[in-house]
Structure 1
Amino acid sequence: MEFPDLPGLRPTSDRVKETVFNWLQPLFPGAACLDLFAGSGALGLEAASRGAGRVTLLDMSAVAVQQLRSHQALLGLKQVRIEQADARKWLETTAEPFEVVFLDPPFADDLLTICCRRLEDNGWLEPNARIYLERNLHGPEPSLPASWVQLKAKKAGEVAYALYTR
């Protein structure tokens, strides 16, 4: 699949994606998933192809959203909803809880702390939700809600990634 050449867009590497989906595979059948910074759609579209029942992909870029819709149509993934929005503002709207959330924001922006707080405080997470975070290995660690417990963590190149539950 082709991806738009946009600032900050770096699709999750195949190696990292394989690890993450091995961690999450048992949860996908019928699950509600949110890809908050969808970009290329690599995480959210993969979750849909693995049986997730409801998948929401969110991105600010009109170009990325157009490409995501093209990939959705090509793959025939009817359970996928794609929205163009700012994640920080979107998380202030009426919540629909998710069981799996992917958070892989552009590394140049410090979005993890605020988005994690809004996911927790505004009702976006099911009681035993799994939250996947990807960040710059050399960037600041986000301040996470006290109710989140780290299940797994790894590093690959310049990327630190981890899986949490609440």
Structure 2
Amino acid sequence: MKNQNKKKKIRIISGYLKGQIIQTINNNNLRPTLHRIRETLFNWLILNIKDSYCLDCFSGSGALGIESISRYASYVTCLESNKNIIKNLRKNIYRLQINNINIIHTDALIWLKKNTIKYNIIFLDPPYQKYELQKIIFLLHKTNIIKYPGYVYIEQSKYKSNNIQYPKNWNLFKQKFTKKIHYKLYMVNKY
């Protein structure tokens, strides 16, 4: 029972912040991307992360956004709806002295409808039970916020991964499975 209440510490894998710790808070909705999955993802993105604009739609711990900055992304927007998680994320950003991350307290579905910035890389790792991933994918396509060619990373429950429809200009670039997780990277091109 003690391990369930223990705060998780996430280590940054590579880049100028390599080895630094991201502290998390105790929250049942917080499910940071596992170390080995983050390592695989950023190996997939190794040639595209530098100087990119990244959007983390369900930021949580901020691990994907902070790892992007550590690997020299130009700018990251982190969206998060939970006030306590936002507060913790801001503490980590301040402690790590990162100034090119914009943390926005919002619902991703609402924010995507109003956004005007274009992004090279978008991370979609929503709470598995809370958001309908299909709506988010539809909005990304409809709002045209992906700078072409761009990449969209999706992490979801292995058991729900077959029900999603993707736009025709989204091409599966890489994918892997764990016992419970299906994670994949799409390359998005102009029609």
TM-score (norm 2): 0.84
Which stretches of structure 1, 4 residues or more, deviate above 4 A after TM superposition? none
Asked if 1:160 corresponds to 2:160, the answer is no
Q: Which one of the candidate residues 137, 152, 164 is aligned to 1:131?
A: 152
Secondary structure at the counterpart of residue 94 of structure 2: helix
Supply the AA of the counterpart residue of 2:150: A
CA deviation map 1:34-80 (0-9, x unaligned): 01000011111100111000100000000111111111111111110
Q: Decide which structure has the larger Cα Rg and report it.
A: 2
Q: Which one of the candidate residues 173, 177, 184 is aligned to 1:151?
A: 173
Supply the AA of the counterpart residue of 2:145: W
Supply the AA of the counterpart residue of 2:89: L
Q: Structure 2 regions of 5+ residues with no counterpart?
A: 1-21
Secondary structure at the counterpart of residue 76 of structure 1: coil
TM-score (norm 1): 0.96
Q: Structure 1 regions of 5+ residues with no counterpart?
A: none
- Alpha-carbon distance in structure 2 between the residues aligned to 1:144 and 1:68: 31
Report the identity percentage: 31
Supply the AA of the counterpart residue of 2:184: A
Contact 2:161/2:182 (CA < 8 Å) preserved in 1? no
Secondary structure at the counterpart of residue 65 of structure 2: helix
Match in the other structure for 2:115: 94
- Alpha-carbon distance in structure 2 between the residues aligned to 1:31 and 1:88: 23
Contact 1:96/1:123 (CA < 8 Å) preserved in 2? no
- Superposed CA RMSD: 1.1
| Paired residues, number | 166
- The equivalences for 1:34-45 within 5 A come to 34-45=55-66
- Alpha-carbon distance in structure 2 between the residues aligned to 1:96 and 1:78: 18
